[in-house]
Amino acid sequence: MSDTKAILATAKKTIETEADAIHQLASYLNEEFSSAVECIRHSKGRVIISGIGKSAIIASKIVATLNSTGTPAIFMHAADAIHGDLGTIQNQDVVICISKSGNTPEIKVLVPLIKNGGNKLIGMTGNSESFLANQADFVLNTFVEKEACPNNLAPTSSTTAQLVMGDALAICLLELKGFDSNDFAKYHPGGALGKKLYLRVSDIASNNLIPQVDVDADVKTVIVEISEKMLGITAVLKDNKIVGVVTDGDIRRMLNKHDNISGLTAKDIMSTNPKTVATDVLAVKALELLQDKGISQLLAVEGDNYKGIVHLHNLINEGIL
């Protein structure tokens, strides 16, 4: 029990220490941050982000975030840059160097080379008096009072601050560019996230069988159709237009109500005014409709034409739910 308490106390203290560092970070934002954003925004090149050690790992993540939100970016390791990778930087690129101290040997070698190339340099550092801060065109202050590490050594609060500052840059650029969900979908076509942004009702309905019976079909025909199409539902049509649906629940209610089902037809047991969704609607919107109505299936329609069924299980299988 005592070990559990100690573990939880350490975890809580770590989170609180880093949260305090992030809260303080907001107070460091000034016109230099805004100028750095505008510099990137108006650049005709890419953003090259460099660092060493833990800062290099953070640089890689910021690169990924920028790329996914419409700002072309490339990672360049500071040590590799001074051993042949400096050619990564092109004339119109903006360079961001990340360093907690701003005084590491690699940064001191790299920065003059960047400046000699005429590229704009943004320094992200926790030391406003450092070599990097003095040489940079714009400084992003990521100073932290202390690391979450009890020895105040392992990069924890400082790397979190760097990460958050990178996110702030990316989101500012996203909003200035008017980068919306349609743009986001272009960069995230895979996985559940991508599917939420591009998968439509037509994509799902087209993979299902299309259960349908005539309004005058007998009960046996209705049951067979529901069973064979395996969606727990069938549309009921009259003159090729939807007039209702019969679900598994309607079949159970019929059996509870009638001792003799001979002579019953689809129109006798169907539910009228079924819930429909247009084929061009995003699948995630269909999910919202299913959840709002507390139902499991929707009829997919194109205008007045019945095109199939979207089932809750389809959306689960696609990873949307």
pLDDT recorded at residue 84: 87
Radius of gyration of the chain (CA): 30
Give me the residue label for tokens 């090729």. Answer: 240
Q: Which of 37, 43, 57, 52 is nearest to 110 (CA)?
A: 52
Which residue in the block uniquely carries the two structure tokens 């809580």?
Answer: 12
Which candidate, 274, 224, 276, 228, places its Cα nearest to that of 251? 224
Q: Identify the segments of the chain with pLDDT beneath 50.
A: 1
**Amino acid present at 96:** I
Report the pLDDT value the prediction gives residue 187, as an integer from 0 to 100.
66
Q: Which tokens go with 104?
A: 């590491």
**Residue range(s) occupied by CATH 3.10.580.10 in the chain:** 201-317
Residue 279: per-residue pLDDT: 95
- Cβ proximity of 122 and 94 under 8 Å: yes
Q: Is 77 annotated as a binding residue?
A: yes
pLDDT digits (tens, 9 = 90+) for 47-57: 999 999 999 99
Please say whether the structural domain 201-317 has been given the CATH code 3.40.1380.10.
Answer: no
Residue 113 Cα distances to 40, 202, 215, angstroms = 20, 55, 79
Residues β-bridged to residue 48:
74, 95
pLDDT per residue as tens digits for the range 184-237: 666 666 666 667 767 899 999 999 999 999 999 999 999 999 999 999 999 999
The Cα 174–Cα 71 span in angstroms is 8
CB 313, CB 225: distance < 8 Å: no
Q: What are phi and psi of 153, to 5 degrees?
A: -120, -55
Distance CA 239, CA 237 (A): 6
Domain spanning 2-179 has what CATH number?
A: 3.40.50.10490
- What is the pLDDT at residue 126? 96
Phi, psi of 24 (to 5 degrees): -70, -30
Amino acid at 92: Q
**Rounded Cα–Cα distance for residues 212 and 130 (Å):** 74
In the chain, CATH 3.40.50.10490 covers 2-179
**pLDDT of the residue at 265:** 95
State the pLDDT at residue 179: 81
